[in-house]
Structure 1
Amino acid sequence: MTIFEKLKILADSAKYDVACTSSGVDRVGQPGDLGSAVSCGICHSFAADGRCISLLKVLMTNFCVYDCKYCVNRRSNDTPRAAFTPRELADLTIQFYRRNYIEGLFLSSGILRTPDDTCEKMIETLTILREEYRFQGYIHVKAIPGADSRLVARLGLLADRMSVNIELPSQDSLKTLAPDKSKTDILKPMGYIFGRIQENGADLVKYRHAPRFAPAGQSTQMIVGATPDSDFQILRLTEGLYRKYQLKRVFFSAYIPVVEDSLLPSVTTKPPLLREHRLYQADWLLRFYGFEAKELLDEEHQNFNPVLDPKCNWAVNHLELFPVEINRVSYDMLLRVPGIGVKSARKILKARKVGPLHFEDLKKLGVVLKRAQYFIVCCGKAAQGMRITQDSILRGLLSDKGMAMLPQSYEQLSLFPEQNRLTGEDVRKCLTGQM
């Protein structure tokens, strides 16, 4: 099998891994070295199917001893198989880099024979890149669950970012769809990587030239829609991972039916892309806006509203906290107003020290008044002609796309003529995702 044939198979098999983000490290190139991983140095481009191609995104091998029901590379699936040698993959990466096709490497792998054996081959590949070719570009590598901690340590000293994929949100789901994996096997290396990153941070304080361990941190990925796990379960797990392991990112991957199995959703099922999008929006609220998972969802409402984003949905369900006075409200509360982001909230704090702000000023500061106007007042006054009720707010917040997501029988109604006004029951159904 030629290198090109291997690349075609193993690059295609790698497209289901999501985690192509900016490097997050600031290691600059040195004389005699090759490549650079400066912040934002990886310029993303996208293939026709939407995959990020700024990194050489490839598997070491798609041979796998595991039989995960959702995975295209499962051992029982009839698919073309291939494997790179460490030398082949290292040479390929450098050739792609020299042609300016890529600026880094995203390396994952199936389990070839044993986790330790697979991990050793990945280490050999990165060693050739770092030591022989002196490649200083960004490398993101997937740690192999079940591999010896000493091998994980060596891998972390060669890579910029490491990740251990949780894949499924609960132990029951893992037991059903990935019987060869266990929650312990996944969380153990994640905990080890976190501990090594903490130790390395302390070492760098004492010794300036101490080797850096996974300087861009670690991340993980969860598959959404392959199991009955609710958004609430996924979000609680996400919050726990951020708190316990200080992950840089949790990635959500909408389940794509690539193999037929009676335990999985039908192959005709469309990927739950809207659900994935809502989880990313909620993830952003957890990381930057001070929200907790229990504020966004609870035992009674376990899935996100399909027609309103999580922040708007929270605000509409907590109208007792609004409207807020834009010239006096705290920064934390500003972040909870729909239409106000982190940057615009900071601009508001700075601008209101000079003088009182009005609605026309907020637009200049980047506030999305189409959403924010229902939840704020300026100098004690609401926006002109504004009626702040659940009915009017919901009608104002529903975009054309949101309307298109309502059932066909409801799409025929106009929300704006008085004879077709939303009733209290309509509002309740919209807010609970029952329409």
Structure 2
Amino acid sequence: MGKMSIQQKLAILSDAAKYDASCASSGGSKRSSRDGSGLGSTTGSGICHAYTPDGRCISLLKILMTNVCVFDCAYCVNRRSSNVRRARFTVEEVVWLTEEFYRRNYIEGLFLSSGIIRSPDYTMEQLVLIVEKLRANGFRGYVHLKTIPDASPDLIERAGLAADRLSINIELPTDAGLNDLAPEKDAASIRKAMGNVRATKEDYSDRTHTGRRRGKFASAGQSTQMIVGADDGTDRQVLGNANRLYGAYDLKRVYYSAFSPIPDASAVLPLKDPPLMREHRLYQADWLLRFYEFSLDEILSDQAGMLDLDIDPKLAWALSNRDRFPVDVNSAPKEALLRVPGFGTRIVDRILKARRNGSLSLEDLRRMGARLKNARPFIVARAHRPGPMLEGAALRDRFVKPQQMELFA
């Protein structure tokens, strides 16, 4: 690889890390600088932004320890046969970079991953050493560590004791897809490793005979990522797999990453990008499954098993189930209100609280933050009934706006 400066390594290894979508800090505790200066620079190589559940935007140093890899996964830009410029940080260099960025208030944490070098255990030990050295030096920032499925349980345990979140990528939505595109990896081994993380976390959460917990292990939980569009997996398969992963391994998040064409791509890969809107729709559907009490069959009634790219899945369901509407915002139960397009979970909670004090109008809903453009045809409120809007054949067409990215609602 030749002699490189740390700045050159940073440029290469931060760029290589951009293909990993699971850069988030959900579940991390809030930390602020002691001098009260707040967040600093929001630019620079390797800095990504993530959002916590309470809406805070935080900055993370997102890098690979190395983009050298012994595996040859067809969909990965860092695969063994890829013709890309290689680089590798030492343990000390990652520690120094993280501490320098943190001291200067550029970041609030670290997102660290790596290609596999020598062996899974060797690579995992290097990653764990980085985080352990940071903690020993007093680093209190958030750490999201990508773990390697075939690494020993002892190393995974050390990783969870040092990092806030662990993640093990399931890679592709189907076992068949993984066998075709990454034959050196094994889906069963990946799931086993995820199960071990869950079991270890639960073990550390149990109280001892003195009533104390053993300690904190991956306090922000674990997550995973699926690449969408590299194989022929349908949206039903993607979301079905995600549903099983949430239930079996108590995941905090499943991230969906639209496959991006890579240099010197294998002939088995698609020639075109999958629509980014597909990735967006999958996130919306994932939200409905987790927070809106929808079932997979309700979201994906299409026989082809694909989401409608033109409208969000909640609106698509409402249009296909017009007999369930209109919903009276002043009397409907929470379950019915959650099904209304344009109503998020917070809006529904506000409605339930506010209507105790009197009947709600459209203006009341607007002040609460409801998206009335979507909700109006599906609700009854004080001085409002949808009338012919709900029955009109052109109702779907009024919502179709290509290239527009709707927010979750």
Runs of 4+ in 1 over 6 A off after TM superposition: 41-44, 46-50
Decide which of 75, 79, 87 is 2:80's aligned counterpart. 75
Q: Secondary structure at the match of 2:377?
A: coil
TM score, norm. by length of structure 2? 0.89
Displacement of 1:52 in angstroms is 3.5
Instruction: State the partner residue of 1:250.
Output: 254
Q: Secondary structure at the match of 2:255?
A: strand
Instruction: State the partner residue of 1:4.
Output: 7
Q: Is 1:202 equivalent to 2:206 in the alignment?
A: yes
Displacement of 1:347 in angstroms is 1.0
Instruction: State the partner residue of 2:108.
Output: 103
| Structure 1 contact 44–52 (Cα < 8 Å) conserved | no
Displacement of 1:204 in angstroms is 8.3
Alignment of 1:333-352 (within 5 A): 333-352=336-355
Decide which of 161, 165, 168 is 1:164's aligned counterpart. 168
List per-residue Cα deviations over 1:392-414 (Å, max 9, x = no partner). Answer: 421332347569xxxxxxxxxxx
Q: Residues of 2 paired with 1:180 and 1:299: CA distance?
A: 34
List per-residue Cα deviations over 1:377-433 (Å, max 9, x = no partner). Answer: 1269514x6432151421332347569xxxxxxxxxxxxxxxxxxxxxxxxxxxxxx
Alignment of 1:272-421 (within 5 A): 272-298=275-301, 300-378=303-381, 382-383=385-386, 386-399=388-401, 401=403
Alignment of 1:35-184 (within 5 A): 45=42, 52=49, 54-131=59-136, 133-184=137-188
| Structure 2 contact 310–402 (Cα < 8 Å) conserved | no
Q: Secondary structure at the match of 1:373?
A: helix
Displacement of 1:25 in angstroms is 2.5
Considering only aligned residues, what root-mean-square deviation do their CA atoms show, in Å?
A: 2.6
Displacement of 1:28 in angstroms is 5.4
Identity of aligned residues (%): 46
Instruction: State the partner residue of 1:432.
Output: none
Displacement of 1:239 in angstroms is 1.1
Q: Residues of 1 paired with 2:142 and 2:104: CA distance?
A: 16
Q: Secondary structure at the match of 2:396?
A: helix
Q: Residues of 1 paired with 2:305 and 2:41: CA distance?
A: 35
Q: Residues of 2 paired with 1:372 and 1:206: CA distance?
A: 54
Q: Residues of 1 paired with 2:40 and 2:243: CA distance?
A: 29
Summarize the Cα distance change of 1:400–1:274 in structure 2 as closer, same or farther, 3 Å threshold: closer
Ranges in structure 1 where 5+ consecutive residues have no aligned partner = 30-34, 404-435
Q: Residues of 2 paired with 1:205 and 1:75: CA distance?
A: 50
| Structure 2 contact 41–106 (Cα < 8 Å) conserved | no
| Structure 2 contact 206–213 (Cα < 8 Å) conserved | no
TM score, norm. by length of structure 1? 0.84
Q: Is 1:217 equivalent to 2:221 in the alignment?
A: yes
Number of residue pairs the alignment of both structures matches: 390
Q: Which amino acid aligns with 2:287?
A: W
| Structure 1 contact 232–298 (Cα < 8 Å) conserved | no
Summarize the Cα distance change of 1:375–1:43 in structure 2 as closer, same or farther, 3 Å threshold: farther
Q: Secondary structure at the match of 1:66?
A: coil
Q: Residues of 2 paired with 1:278 and 1:161: CA distance?
A: 25
Q: Residues of 2 paired with 1:48 and 1:322: CA distance?
A: 50
Instruction: State the partner residue of 2:56.
Output: none
Q: Secondary structure at the match of 2:144?
A: strand
Instruction: State the partner residue of 1:430.
Output: none
Summarize the Cα distance change of 1:91–1:23 in structure 2 as closer, same or farther, 3 Å threshold: farther
List per-residue Cα deviations over 1:114-162 (Å, max 9, x = no partner). Answer: 100101111111111111x111110000011111111101111000000
Q: Residues of 1 paired with 2:43 and 2:186: CA distance?
A: 34
Q: Residues of 2 paired with 1:102 and 1:402: CA distance?
A: 31
Q: Secondary structure at the match of 1:70?
A: coil
The answer to which of 172-181 and 287-296 deviates more is 287-296
Instruction: State the partner residue of 1:261.
Output: 266
Q: Residues of 1 paired with 2:45 and 2:324: CA distance?
A: 45
Q: Residues of 2 paired with 1:372 and 1:299: CA distance?
A: 23
Ranges in structure 2 where 5+ consecutive residues have no aligned partner = 51-58
Q: Which amino acid aligns with 1:187?
A: R
| Structure 1 contact 289–335 (Cα < 8 Å) conserved | yes
| Structure 1 contact 68–178 (Cα < 8 Å) conserved | yes
Q: Residues of 2 paired with 1:143 and 1:205: CA distance?
A: 31
The answer to which of 307-316 and 287-296 deviates more is 287-296
| Structure 1 contact 18–251 (Cα < 8 Å) conserved | yes
Q: Which amino acid aligns with 2:140?
A: Q
| Structure 1 contact 141–159 (Cα < 8 Å) conserved | yes
